[in-house]
Structure 1
Amino acid sequence: MNRFADLLDMLAFTPSRNAKLSLLQDYFRTVPDPERGYALAAIARDLDIPAVKPAQLRELISARMDPELFGYSYDYVGDLAETIALAWPQRGAALAGRNDAPGLTEVVETLVKSSRREGPALVEGWLDRLDPPGRYGLLKLVTGGFRMGLSGRLIKQALAAFGNVNVNEIEELWHGLTPPYAELFAWLEGSGDKPVNASAAPFRPVMLSHAIDTKEFDKLDPADFVAEWKWDGIRVQATSERGISRLYTRTGDDISAAFPDLVDAISFEGALDGELLVARPSDGGIETGSFSDLQQRLNRKTVSARQLRDHPAFFRAYDVLQAGEEDLRAKPFFERRVRLESFVADLDLTRFDCSELLEFADWQDLAARRADPPFAVIEGVMIKRKAAPYLPGRPKGEWFKWKRDPFLIDAVLMYAQRGHGKRSGFYSDYTFGVWREPGELVPVGKAYFGFTDDELIEIDKYVRNNTIERFGPVRSVRAGVDKGLVFEIAFEGIARSSRHKSGVAMRFPRISRLRWDKPPAEADRLETLERMIDSAA
């Protein structure tokens, strides 16, 4: 377990993307099968260990140390696995000189076969045999709480670099592979054939865009491009083959189970690229819901009949990648677009439609359309070269996104919570609010990025010096008319929400800058946010 724990520790405290890639490649190179495969599955979140839950780990530590003391310790450390690993008191023989520490392979293969009754006892025994780093690795493994700045694509890029192959080959194979990936590593090391993709309806690596700098328009001929609205949903891929239909996110995560209503409506053989929305037919066409509506359906293991009825899933198609057995990705966009329109015309139009192409004479004309979209759920425009093939990754000069300028408000810091990983020693997750009545702040959002490391230290110091109440790991911070820290908050959209006390929900809020200069009394009021919603509507 110690090699796995060391990898987790180094990944968590290594900010550089290239350095993370090197760490992963070194691990794959020096650690044998099947251990490296189980480590890969764990950090890629493809390892399911149902035998142990976090609540059971709390019960284990509560039997060995005072629960109140553990609560204080957890509050300070900010991470359950790290706190238990450091505080775990051993029973029986001292750890020094023991050589029976379990390995990653033993732990995984034993737990996968174990029941929920057997799992906690196994973990307890292993904790007694491991030192603190090993205990940390074990607990991270069973909780799945990896926060190391690793995306699924970054992990696949590390595999591609390790085997000197194209990352797109890894992505197209991924959903047909199972831990501990012995065939995959054999191929990457040159000692075996490339695995056959046994998965029906595989994921196809997506083509991404670049945010456009307005100076670039001088170099681009508008006659070479088309434009369409950029909808505020999530980018997905709908694919069907041999009677199997799947829905993938842009990073290749299979989310079919969360959207059975849409998956059941897939009646084609092929693959479509598009936007997942909540929408339903209306007298004026298709009525598209807000991102807040879509959030009612995201990240759910089960979907109720009411959610299916009130928030029906809808697919707005941008591109067709495959039609039947014909791969269309090498064809230019304008040819694929013609095929897409005829392809979608044969589908269930209560679940599928085509993204509208926008007419524009020049870039100034498109800028005017971008500034005045017909629906609040539009966050800008996409600009695509007519001759562009569908290229995985982010090729230069082919697709551009031109998002609307973000909304900005001034809000007051109300609560702060400790972060995780390298931020576990800092208060780095912030709840902010605006004024509803004189002297009354109402929370309207949370943010945990947008500030520099130096600014994090300043905010953390402010939180510690101005804490007025404690609620477990959360600190209530002094915030009033005369005393408080003001944040300028940037966000991409806003909608009404019955789930929030304020009645509003922001889309992608982040801290734009710290307003040490601004008195909290001059922060924005809730009416300002409500007017933003009404104006957009």
Structure 2
Amino acid sequence: MRAFARLLDCLVYTQSRNRKTALLGHYFRSTPDPDRGWALAALTDGIPVRLPLRRMLSDLTGRFIDPVLYQLSRDYVGDTAETVALLWPDDPVDLSRQTNTPTPSPQGGGEWSEGSRAPLAHGHDYQTQDDIRRTSPLSSTGKSRGRGEKLGEKSLQLSLDLIPTPNPSRQEGGELSGGIFAHVVDVDIQQQDGPRPTSPLPSTGMGRGWGDAGHNSGAEPAYLSLGNVIGAMASGTAAERTVRLGQFLNALDASGRWALLKLLGGAPRVGVSARLARTALAEAYGRDVSEIEEIWHALEPPYLDLFAWLDGRAERPDPGSKPVFRPVMLAHPVEEGDWPKLAPEDFVAEWKWDGIRVQVSARGGDVRMFSRQGDDISRAFPEIRSAFQGHDCVVDGELLIMRDGEIAPFNDLQQRLNRKAVTAKMMAAYPPHVRLYDLLFDGQEDLRALPFSERRTRLETWYASHHPPSTDVSPLVAFTTFEDLNVLWSSSRAEGIEGLMLKRRDSAYQAGRIKGQWFKWKRAALTLDCVLMYAQRGSGKRSSYYSDYTFGVWQEDADGGRQLVPVGKAYSGFTDEELLLLDRWIRNNTVETFGPVRAVDPGIVFEVAFDAVHASTRHKSGVAMRFPRIHRIRWDKPAAEADTLETVLRLLSGGSEVTVDDAARPTR
């Protein structure tokens, strides 16, 4: 847990993508199984343990802090794990009040008694309660160590020293990317924990070097390993697992407590996406990330077979007949300078539909649907799984909501996204539809190396033969010159389309953005001048600032008066310096408070950019924006001159004229 905590700390304070990749790569190479696999799971799909964590933490914190004070602290800090880690007392919390029932083993049978040992999946054991009492630092000192607390006469400090160091070897060969590494510096930490083994990365002479991040070594007892913690929390009643969680929190310092809760919470939020974690793993072992992504969904945590392959101890895992994700091909935005280099006869055009890109993989009687990032979203769309049942293919397409042949607004699709289960009522109200772009596999035949024109012919032939329900093929857009295409592009907003795609006729299907092959020509963003109405404190590093803004437009009353009605919310599009100015203004112009939310005088105008407007029952105005972001702050504009609801409603009905930026027009 200590090594995992150091890794998360470094990731939080590291902005550079290359440095994050280097940190992750070193951790994966230097940490033993199964801990590195559990860490990888935490950073990607989450560990396969479902806990009522919020309720458990409420129970535990209620033993030593007033619930209202805890909620206020959580609201101000902006992160549950950080709040609990810092609030947890130095003296062990009394957990005896709810330990009247015996604790069962992870298999669910028998009891976890004082002398029993319950096995963990993959052949690993987690420690008994006797082990915890015997090895825990609490047994002798009666205290856990907090972040920054005294170690003898010296204090523990975390700092990041981003300086160049010699490139370390990768198993006697190769280099980690970058050459600049983050260093975790603990002042005189050896005074507490004793000597450390030599790091595979060089020290900087400033205490323990970056190379020590990732070692489960030193005085930390084995029962605090990630594998042991996950095994202990894998099963049992909520009350029993609450006690176990409390025991682990009692045994850890503040950094360890924070890492523990990040591990169990399912969303570490340390600036690392699932794809970046997989990319770091691939780069650390000299592999292409597509090699990992193509077998990823056939693997299970803690990924012992994956690491055995990467370490050279076994063959690459074979997904066999499982439906797995194939990395998608992406497009570059078309720029002004691209048009003179492009020939119309080399390209085909497709509409860019206003949904989300998906890949449907049907193999061996099972069907999965993945997002473009490789996330499995099948459970939220059982209709699509049923539609492809019995087929053997991998198709690329756009997920939409469609009623009576008409594409519904993107807001309707959002009602189905990110749901673990859907009701019959929701399925009837928001029927999904996949509009097909490409055929990647026809049975066992891999078509990705074929030119797009041949894959398109194969797709049309396949669809004519199979015709899965809730699907159709995206039509090609006929054109002779780019000027012809520009006329169609200009009218795309009125047709409810996001823009156009340009694809080279001879382009193979390759993972990622391949320069010069595919282009996306999105419609220009709309803008409105809106008035700031409410502000709320953000989360994480913005938890002390009012950074989430609700804004509105003017609506005329029946008696000729005017009032502001909300149309959207945004928390991006401004600099840190502007955030400070906005935060100060909000605090000085608050007229009413609602918990963490402040209502303000109508004094600041935002020029808000957005993609579309749609009907909404959430706002008093009856409309809401899609993807709103603050384009600029109109310090110079009086609030009374902001836009009106009438203007917004014209956009909703498609009656507005969209101006095309001349710089985005093709020249041929």
Do both share a fold (TM > 0.5)? yes
* More deviation, 204-213/292-301: 292-301
Instruction: After TM superposition, give the deviation of residue 187 of structure 1 in Å.
Output: 1.7
8 A Cα contact 1:52 1:119, kept in partner: no
Structure-2 separation of matches of 1:515 and 1:213: 28
The equivalent residue for 1:435 is 554
Distance 1:121 1:330, change over 3 A: same
Number of equivalent positions? 529
The equivalent residue for 2:359 is 237
Structure-2 separation of matches of 1:74 and 1:102: 26
Instruction: After TM superposition, give the deviation of residue 500 of structure 1 in Å.
Output: 3.4
* More deviation, 424-433/251-260: 424-433
* More deviation, 218-227/79-88: 79-88
Instruction: Please state if 1:304 is matched with 2:416.
Output: no
The equivalent residue for 1:66 is 66
Aligned residue identity for 1:428: S
Structure-1 separation of matches of 2:318 and 2:224: 33
* CA deviation map 1:254-295 (0-9, x unaligned): 1111111121011521111000001134xxxx2111101111
Structure-1 separation of matches of 2:226 and 2:35: 6
The equivalent residue for 2:337 is 215
Instruction: Please state if 1:269 is matched with 2:392.
Output: yes
Instruction: Please state if 1:492 is matched with 2:611.
Output: yes
CA RMSD across the alignment: 2.0
8 A Cα contact 2:235 2:241, kept in partner: no
- Residues 33-72 of structure 1 mapped to structure 2, 5 A cutoff: 33-72=33-72
Instruction: Please state if 1:386 is matched with 2:509.
Output: no
* More deviation, 106-115/173-182: 106-115
Distance 1:502 1:348, change over 3 A: farther
8 A Cα contact 1:52 1:143, kept in partner: no
8 A Cα contact 2:360 2:367, kept in partner: yes
Stretches of 4+ aligned residues off by more than 6 angstroms: none
8 A Cα contact 1:280 1:350, kept in partner: no
Aligned residue identity for 1:263: R
Structure-1 separation of matches of 2:384 and 2:288: 32
Unpaired runs of 5+ residues, structure 1, are: none
Structure-2 separation of matches of 1:36 and 1:74: 30
Structure-2 separation of matches of 1:136 and 1:273: 40
Please state whether the residue corresponding to 1:127 is helix, strand or coil.
Answer: helix
The equivalent residue for 2:3 is 3
Structure-1 separation of matches of 2:376 and 2:369: 6
Instruction: After TM superposition, give the deviation of residue 51 of structure 1 in Å.
Output: 3.0
The equivalent residue for 2:236 is 114
* CA deviation map 1:111-140 (0-9, x unaligned): 113332312111112111111111111112
Structure-2 separation of matches of 1:402 and 1:64: 57
Distance 1:223 1:418, change over 3 A: same
- Residues 326-341 of structure 1 mapped to structure 2, 5 A cutoff: 326-341=445-460
Instruction: After TM superposition, give the deviation of residue 374 of structure 1 in Å.
Output: 7.5
| Counterpart among 584, 593, 596 of residue 470 in structure 1 | 593
* More deviation, 377-386/340-349: 340-349
The equivalent residue for 1:157 is 279
Aligned residue identity for 1:315: V
8 A Cα contact 1:224 1:385, kept in partner: yes
- Residues 19-30 of structure 1 mapped to structure 2, 5 A cutoff: 19-30=19-30
The equivalent residue for 1:173 is 295
* More deviation, 497-506/399-408: 497-506
The equivalent residue for 2:266 is 144
Please state whether the residue corresponding to 1:118 is helix, strand or coil.
Answer: helix
Structure-2 separation of matches of 1:421 and 1:8: 14
Aligned residue identity for 2:403: R
8 A Cα contact 1:65 1:89, kept in partner: no
Instruction: After TM superposition, give the deviation of residue 191 of structure 1 in Å.
Output: 2.8
* CA deviation map 1:326-346 (0-9, x unaligned): 111000001111111122223
Please state whether the residue corresponding to 1:254 is helix, strand or coil.
Answer: coil
Instruction: After TM superposition, give the deviation of residue 218 of structure 1 in Å.
Output: 0.6
Q: Between the two proteins, what is the percent identity of the paired residues?
A: 49
The equivalent residue for 1:450 is 573
Distance 1:356 1:512, change over 3 A: same
Please state whether the residue corresponding to 2:513 is helix, strand or coil.
Answer: coil
- Residues 186-225 of structure 1 mapped to structure 2, 5 A cutoff: 186-198=308-320, 200-225=322-347
Instruction: After TM superposition, give the deviation of residue 99 of structure 1 in Å.
Output: 5.7
* More deviation, 251-260/11-20: 11-20
8 A Cα contact 1:51 1:117, kept in partner: no
Larger Rg: 2
Distance 1:435 1:493, change over 3 A: same
Distance 1:387 1:272, change over 3 A: same
TM normalised by structure 2 equals: 0.76
Distance 1:294 1:55, change over 3 A: same
8 A Cα contact 1:467 1:476, kept in partner: yes
* CA deviation map 1:448-488 (0-9, x unaligned): 2222222222222223333333333x2214132xxx22211
* More deviation, 494-503/268-277: 494-503
Instruction: After TM superposition, give the deviation of residue 536 of structure 1 in Å.
Output: 6.0
Please state whether the residue corresponding to 1:346 is helix, strand or coil.
Answer: helix
* More deviation, 111-120/237-246: 111-120
Aligned residue identity for 1:181: Y
The equivalent residue for 2:88 is 88
Please state whether the residue corresponding to 1:276 is helix, strand or coil.
Answer: strand
Structure-2 separation of matches of 1:247 and 1:513: 38
Structure-1 separation of matches of 2:12 and 2:538: 13
* CA deviation map 1:481-511 (0-9, x unaligned): xxx2221111112211234332112211111
Structure-2 separation of matches of 1:383 and 1:177: 35
Distance 1:434 1:62, change over 3 A: farther
Structure-2 separation of matches of 1:375 and 1:289: 13
Instruction: After TM superposition, give the deviation of residue 77 of structure 1 in Å.
Output: 1.0
Structure-1 separation of matches of 2:60 and 2:655: 52
Structure-2 separation of matches of 1:145 and 1:436: 40
* More deviation, 25-34/249-258: 25-34
Aligned residue identity for 1:405: A
Structure-2 separation of matches of 1:378 and 1:361: 21
8 A Cα contact 2:590 2:601, kept in partner: no
Structure-2 separation of matches of 1:99 and 1:432: 51
Aligned residue identity for 2:327: P
Aligned residue identity for 1:216: D
